[in-house]
Structure 1
Amino acid sequence: MCQAPDWSVGDRYLRENVPELAPLVDRYSPCPLKPKSKESYFTILLTGIIAQQLPPDVSQQLMQRLEGLTGNPITPQAVLAASAEDLLSIGLVKQKVDYLRSFAEAVINGSVTMDKFDDMTDSQITKQLMQIRGLGQWTIEMFLLLALCRTDVVPSADFIFKKELQKMLNLSEIPKRGKINTLTETWRPWRSLAVWYIWQKANDSEKK
């Protein structure tokens, strides 16, 4: 597990350089995010594949059934040892069964080197994971930000973030990826931290 960033350094940077974010830093700091262990990477990404286009309670139930089938923690070897029929029997659709097995194979054959992620750049990790069927941009960005705690990730595929950014900057429309990169340039190298604060504001707004 890599060392957690010193988020307080990012807090000072955002307060001094991004006026629109300063009130959010004051309200929601400190950021509690810490990197997850290497041993959990496979399960986290596996969960991302299963959870796509499903309500949270359904994906959680499927993960529990998968753990019952393969054991906990779930390993690539255990996923491949389970037959396709067994995986289908717990409620997974065939496409996701194929995705899970392909991901497990990629880890075992070394196409995905999760044991080296801590020493790889964001772009190197993204390049590896984008080759895996079922792992899309949103899942990979969430993994970089929430599991690896990389400090400069902008989840341009995340609707909640994009909607809040539109509100905060009084934009006429929800910004697209290229525009988001331009708008958040002054947040570097602490864009992940800024995103986390924006998410907290969105959560508060949802509760009202």
Structure 2
Amino acid sequence: MSDPYETLRETDIGPLIEEYGEIELSVADDLFERMVISVVNQLISTEAARTIRGQLFDEFAITPDAMLAADDVSLRSVGLSPQKIEYIKSIARWSKTENITADSFSEMDDEAVIEELTTIRGVGEWTAKMTLMFGLGREDVFPVEDLAVRRGMEQYFGDETRAEMRSRAAQWTPYRSYATLYIWNQYVRENSSVEDIVVE
């Protein structure tokens, strides 16, 4: 099996690898917790998401049973919107019904995982790709839906459209997830108010 860093050093991501070193991609210890993090992060500023996550994790055990048992008033008190509460409980019900772990997807390719995950209320393409990358450690995911990815590519490469970004990302196959981590890191460095998503 080829080495992702050696492979990507031969592409236009190479300078970022030299700058940041080897950034690891791994399977999450708890897939449900990782999905909850992604739901919290949906469509709000990074600073707001960080605050809500901190309060949520301080006040509750992040398990399907605990989320289903929690009343909506308590969940709203940590900053979750009614819609996100509904989404988290939907994922919790799905996790319990299907007895889901990271191993549940071991025989499924990325597209099949996305198809399965997006049947859950509140899980769209972006959340599914975050789960692939940060939950399952899949190596060849390119989340062009992510605003920070697009802004990073605009700043670093000058790409303006999603089509241009997808075309450029093709050269990073089969390690587009790793390339994405470097784009995020570069964007974070250029925009210091943005949290480094890599370490979540």
2:38 to 48, 62, 86: 48
Q: Please name the residue that 2:8 is paired with.
A: 14
| Residue 11 (structure 1) shift | 1.6
Q: Please name the residue that 2:197 is paired with.
A: none
Paired AA for residue 184 in structure 1 = A
Q: Please name the residue that 1:3 is paired with.
A: none
Describe how 1:48-197 pairs up with structure 2 within 5 A: 48-67=38-57, 69-71=59-61, 74-110=62-98, 114-171=102-159, 174-176=160-162, 178-197=163-182
| Residue 76 (structure 1) shift | 0.8
Q: Is the 8 A contact 2:91 2:120 kept in 1?
A: yes
Give the Cα–Cα distance (whole angstroms) in 2 for the partners of residues 92 and 167 of structure 1: 32
| Residue 186 (structure 1) shift | 1.8
Q: Is the 8 A contact 2:34 2:134 kept in 1?
A: no
Tell me how many residue pairs correspond in the alignment. 192
Aligned-residue identity in percent = 29
Secondary structure at the counterpart of residue 24 of structure 2: coil
TM-score (norm: length of structure 2): 0.79
TM-score (norm: length of structure 1): 0.77
Give the stretch that moved more between structures: 51-60 or 194-203: 51-60
Look at both structures and tell me which one has the larger radius of gyration over its CA atoms. Answer: 1
Structure 1 unaligned spans of 5+: 1-5
Deviations 1:79-122 (A, max 9, x none): 12223344344443322222222111111122966541334321
Structure 2 unaligned spans of 5+: 193-200
Give the Cα–Cα distance (whole angstroms) in 1 for the partners of residues 127 and 36 of structure 2: 10
Give the Cα–Cα distance (whole angstroms) in 1 for the partners of residues 140 and 66 of structure 2: 34
CA RMSD of aligned residues (A): 2.7
Return closer, same or farther for 1:47/1:31 CA change in 2, 3 Å cut-off: closer
| Residue 45 (structure 1) shift | 0.7
Deviations 1:50-70 (A, max 9, x none): 232334444344444444554
Secondary structure at the counterpart of residue 83 of structure 2: helix
Report whether the alignment pairs 1:30 with 2:22: yes
